[in-house]
Amino acid sequence: MLLSSAIEANKPLIECDAGLFMSIFTALQSPVLGPLFNQLPELDNDSKLILFVLYEKYVNPSSFWKPYLDLLPERVDSALFFTDEDLAYVAGTTLGMEISYTQQHLLESYEEIMSAVEERFSIFDRQNFSWERFKWARSMFDSRGFNLTLQGKARNCLLPFIDSINSTHYTHLQSRGYIDETKKSHFSDLGTYVLPTLVPCSNVGSQVFLNYGGFSTRELVLFYGFAYEEEENPYDLYTLTLDLPDDDYAAERMALASAIGVSTDHYLRATSISMDIVDYLSLVVLPPTHVLELANSDSASIRLVLRSEGQLVSVKDILKSMLQALIDNMEAESPFLASPPSSFPSNCAKIGFVYTRSQHNILTHSLRMVSSWNVVN
């Protein structure tokens, strides 16, 4: 979207009647589908909304939404469209399993929806409401949808043309806007959608941006079909689930972990090592006598012992070994990390590799940071 005139900060750039959005309310007002949806209480609103979008795009030749729907991309390179060949580029990570699960879960949802509607209403035939088209509609909501509060509940919506505003880390606009129910409009009683500016926009003719949110590369690949290729994503994480030793003091160690507010789930970043990981690993190697001695101590006293010089030396060794093992395993499973390809069979494969590379970078940066620790006073 290009700026046609200058605008001050905290002023509405866009105001629009919420009745002009593709929401469950417009779906229920459909003269054809509305009465049918009222006979399908077992379907949730998102399922009805997808059927409504497919009907308006592929069945209704005089659809009010046709100019908008015809402009939507035919494909989003999100997880729903990864092939087996594409999945090779996320080898060595857990993303492949997530992608396969996402695809399978949506296929099961599709079959459940079609089982509920196709035998009861002839309009829902599998030619117009095919699996591929259903995937397409779901990907439109994943990649372009706005979650807005309408009549007291958060609801998925498609905002014609407004959803063409691009995303960047630096944003002119307030996330995705909001509904002002005090501003009634001509098409509905849902209120007015308002998209205010965050900063002054004075460069007429330039593009304005919003920020989709603090999404990691994993989330961008799963739902949006793109990734930041030339820069590191500050929201990227590497997820670790750490176990306590299966010994006679496991319950006591977990009690200490609870006392200092750490769990088995941890996250690595490329820029820092969380002290939660340090404290947890220190609990793992804490001698049993110390475990028992700390049983009734406060959190400050527990951390003082966990961060003592001797404990930190052990933690450094464990963390280095663990990170090196994770790096070795990832490099062994991914055929592309050591020799990045110059071209890719698809954009899915390309952004999948961007994710794998980001995970590898987090591990290598973390190992470098840990190796440089000076834990001796």
pLDDT digits (tens, 9 = 90+) for 148-162: 888 889 999 999 988
The predicted pLDDT at position 184 comes to: 76
Bridge partners (DSSP) listed for residue 35: none
Task: Pick the range with the lowest mean pLDDT from 4-13, 122-131, 267-276.
Answer: 4-13
The predicted pLDDT at position 91 comes to: 94
The predicted pLDDT at position 376 comes to: 64
Token representation of residue 25: 């309310």
Place of tokens 């492949």: 96
Is pLDDT of 172 > 50? no
Measured distance CA(340)–CA(155) in Å, rounded: 41
- According to the CATH classification, is domain 238-371 in 3.90.1420.10? yes
270 vs 180, higher pLDDT: 270
Measured distance CA(280)–CA(55) in Å, rounded: 53
- What does CATH list as the number for 12-224? 3.90.1410.10
339 vs 55, higher pLDDT: 55
Task: Pick the range with the lowest mean pLDDT from 23-37, 227-241, 295-309.
Answer: 227-241
Is pLDDT of 141 > 80? yes
- What type of residue is 112? E
Please name the residues in contact with 286: beta carbons below 8 A apart, sequence gap of 6 or more. Answer: 253, 256, 294, 305, 306, 311
Q: By the 8 A CB rule, do 1 and 208 touch?
A: yes
Is pLDDT of 377 > 60? no
Is pLDDT of 216 > 70? yes
Strands 12-17 and 192-196: antiparallel
Is pLDDT of 321 > 70? yes
Q: What is the pLDDT of residues 1-36, one digit of tens each?
A: 555 666 666 667 778 888 899 999 999 999 999 999
Number of Cα atoms under 13 Å in the Cβ half of residue 224: 18
Is pLDDT of 271 > 50? yes
The predicted pLDDT at position 274 comes to: 92
Measured distance CA(293)–CA(187) in Å, rounded: 70
Q: By the 8 A CB rule, do 136 and 75 touch?
A: yes
Alpha helices in the chain (DSSP H): 24-28, 33-37, 45-58, 66-71, 84-87, 95-117, 131-144, 217-219, 250-259, 275-285, 288-293, 299-306, 309-333, 347-371
Is pLDDT of 200 > 80? no
- What type of residue is 242? L
In this prediction, residues 339-345 reach a mean pLDDT of 92
Question: What does residue 344 show for φ and ψ, rounded to 5 degrees?
Answer: -130, 150
Q: Which of 113, 124, 123, 111 is nearest to 45 (CA)?
A: 113
Measured distance CA(285)–CA(316) in Å, rounded: 11
Token representation of residue 226: 């793109």
Question: In this prediction, what percent of the chain has a pLDDT beyond 90?
Answer: 67
Cα separation values, 75 from 10, 72, 137, Å: 35, 9, 10
Domain ranges across the chain = 12-224, 238-371
Measured distance CA(121)–CA(186) in Å, rounded: 33
Beta-carbon count within 10 A of 289 CB: 9
Q: Mean pLDDT for the chain? A: 89
Number of Cα atoms under 13 Å in the Cβ half of residue 154: 5
Q: By the 8 A CB rule, do 23 and 157 touch?
A: yes
Cα separation values, 187 from 23, 194, 301, Å: 13, 16, 63
Token representation of residue 127: 């030619």
Measured distance CA(27)–CA(50) in Å, rounded: 9
Most confident of 2-11, 95-104, 210-219: 95-104
Is pLDDT of 105 > 70? yes
Measured distance CA(18)–CA(39) in Å, rounded: 25
The predicted pLDDT at position 334 comes to: 94
Measured distance CA(73)–CA(80) in Å, rounded: 15
The predicted pLDDT at position 15 comes to: 82
Token representation of residue 305: 């012992």
In this prediction, residues 74-83 reach a mean pLDDT of 94
